[in-house]
Amino acid sequence: MPAWRRRRIAWWLRGVALLAVLVHLPGRHAARSGGLVKVEQLPDRPVLLVGAAIVLGAVSVVVECEFRSAFSQIGFAAVLVGTIAAGAPFVLLSAMAAGDEPSVVRSVHPDHPDRVLTVTDVAFSIDPVHQLELVVGGGWSARHRVLGTWGEGNGPGSHQGAKWYGPDRIVVSSEAGVTSIDLAPVSGRPGTPHTTAR
Q: 162 and 117 in contact (C-beta within 8 Å)?
A: yes
Of the candidate ranges 25-39, 54-68, 92-106, the one whose mean pLDDT is the lowest: 92-106
What pTM, to 2 d.p., does this model score? 0.67
Q: How far apart are CA 106 and CA 126, in angstroms?
A: 21
Cβ distance 52 to 17 under 8 Å? yes
Each residue of 21-40: pLDDT tens digit? 898 888 888 888 878 888 88
* pLDDT (tens digit per residue) in 154-172: 455 577 788 888 888 888 8
